[in-house]
Amino acid sequence: MVEDIGIIGGGIVGIAIARALSSRNLANVTVLEKEQRVAMHQTGHNSGVVHAGLYYAPGSLKAMLCQRGRELTRDYCREKDLPYRELGKLVVALTDDELPALADIERRSVANRVPGLRRLGAGALREIEPHVAGVAALHSPQTAVVDFVAITEALADDVRSSGGQILFGHEAIAISTGQGKVRVTTGRADLVFDRLIVCAGLQSDVVAGLVGASPAPRILPFRGEYWGLAAAKQHFVKGMIYPVPDPRFPFLGVHFTRGVYDTIHVGPNAVPALAREGYGWNRVSFKDTAASVMWPGARALAKQHWRMGAKEIAASLIKPLYYRQAHRFIPELQIGDLTAKTASGVRAQAWSLDGSLLDDFAIDQVGPVTLLRNAPSPAATSAMAIADHLLEHFIHLPK
């Protein structure tokens, strides 16, 4: 008997899971999305990079699923005639002090079988990006850029073509289990499923609470802001230019990305958002902010990262400080070359009771409910691989 499976969340991961189930005739699938279209939040507010797996701890879910996800994303874009551009990425060490960290990334990249990876000296890196400073770099030629919204919409079309349905404006407000069923109450309907999969992103801990799951990990929203690059200076960036990340902090730092449609953006930074969906300083939720401040791990997190946090907030509010970070990589850059802030996104960063930030993907099972508790970057890259992993290890449907 074919099961009825509900999926909460219409981002790329939820839609990829729906497609994996419906296209294989494994279940009757219904996606519940609180917004009026797919890809409204994290999927639609990122830089569009298909990652090759440089940074992730070997053997982690991120490392394994990123590599497979990159291949699946590439093949899907070719199948659907969607743009997929391998513009390549440089991870640039600006000084000799950063060379040990660059070497560590190189070791991880080799262990993760990043395709085509090369270590470059100062001269060789400027053959790829002539305007970039630096003493050395790692070059990942197969790091690509795509339109993740277009991919999600195509996946959603596949779901519908296979008989699945996507219901917009359906925010889960109550979930109960009993007699082998899961009942989801939204503001518009009561729906009953055999199983439920939760891919709620910024709201993942809220929905987990409806199921009765552990309150940890909690979602701490971080906003990333992008500046545009003036049209006359677009030639400064040919592909992607990234810093050597600080291993003490879960974010990469300001970088340059030429998008799939040739728009270049500078960023993102990482500042605490004042709401789960707080895409600007004017978006404030006292409930969300109070929940973050009152979390048991808040004091430990603040003690460990307050200097970095203060630096990021200052750069968000004061353009010259943001410019200073970008100028280190492209010395020819002038402050006027950074145009108005073009976009922002909010990352759903999961953190534990002790204040530590979760790095890897995290999946929980509560009876017939599967909860994707943490899916930061490279979740968009890995979405179709995450779907396969979840079906194999958590859903266990007959093939």
Please indicate, yes or no, whether residues 225 and 324 belong to a single structural domain of this protein: yes
Please indicate, yes or no, whether residues 113 and 250 belong to a single structural domain of this protein: no
Please indicate, yes or no, whether residues 123 and 156 belong to a single structural domain of this protein: no
pLDDT at 331 over 80: yes
> Is 235 within the bounds of a domain?
no
Kindly report the average pLDDT of the chain as a whole number.
Answer: 94
Residues 26/325, Cβ–Cβ less than 8 Å: no
Q: How far is CA 3 from CA 10, 31, 142, 268, in A?
A: 20, 14, 39, 42
What is the CATH classification number for the domain harbouring 20?
Answer: 3.50.50.60
Please indicate, yes or no, whether residues 301 and 155 belong to a single structural domain of this protein: no
Poorest-pLDDT segment among 55-59, 342-346, 362-366 = 342-346
Q: Which residue has the higher pLDDT, 251 or 99?
A: 99
Tell me, what's the pLDDT at 248? Answer: 67
Tell me, what's the pLDDT at 398? Answer: 61
* Across 293-302, average pLDDT: 82
Domain holding 261, by residue range, is 220-229+246-348
Query: 100, 115, 141 — which closes off a domain?
Result: 141
Please indicate, yes or no, whether residues 224 and 213 belong to a single structural domain of this protein: no
pLDDT at 303 over 90: no
Q: How many separate domains does the chain show?
A: 3
Please indicate, yes or no, whether residues 257 and 135 belong to a single structural domain of this protein: no
| pLDDT tens-place string over residues 28-52 | 999 999 999 999 999 999 999 999 9
Residues 11/200, Cβ–Cβ less than 8 Å: no
Tell me, what's the pLDDT at 75? Answer: 98
Tell me, what's the pLDDT at 343? Answer: 85
Please indicate, yes or no, whether residues 181 and 41 belong to a single structural domain of this protein: yes
Band of residue 250 on the pLDDT scale cut at 50, 70, 90: low
Please indicate, yes or no, whether residues 190 and 120 belong to a single structural domain of this protein: no
pLDDT at 220 over 80: yes
Tell me, what's the pLDDT at 66? Answer: 97
First to last CA, the chain: 12
> Is 193 within the bounds of a domain?
yes
Please indicate, yes or no, whether residues 171 and 273 belong to a single structural domain of this protein: no
Please indicate, yes or no, whether residues 268 and 332 belong to a single structural domain of this protein: yes
> Is 38 within the bounds of a domain?
yes
pLDDT at 247 over 80: no
| pLDDT tens-place string over residues 141-178 | 999 999 999 999 999 999 999 999 999 999 999 999 99
> Is 303 within the bounds of a domain?
yes
Please indicate, yes or no, whether residues 131 and 184 belong to a single structural domain of this protein: no
Query: 141, 173, 205 — which closes off a domain?
Result: 141
> Is 287 within the bounds of a domain?
yes
> Is 237 within the bounds of a domain?
no
Tell me, what's the pLDDT at 249? Answer: 66
Residues 131/125, Cβ–Cβ less than 8 Å: no
* Across 327-344, average pLDDT: 94
> Is 257 within the bounds of a domain?
yes
> Is 251 within the bounds of a domain?
yes
Please indicate, yes or no, whether residues 168 and 134 belong to a single structural domain of this protein: no
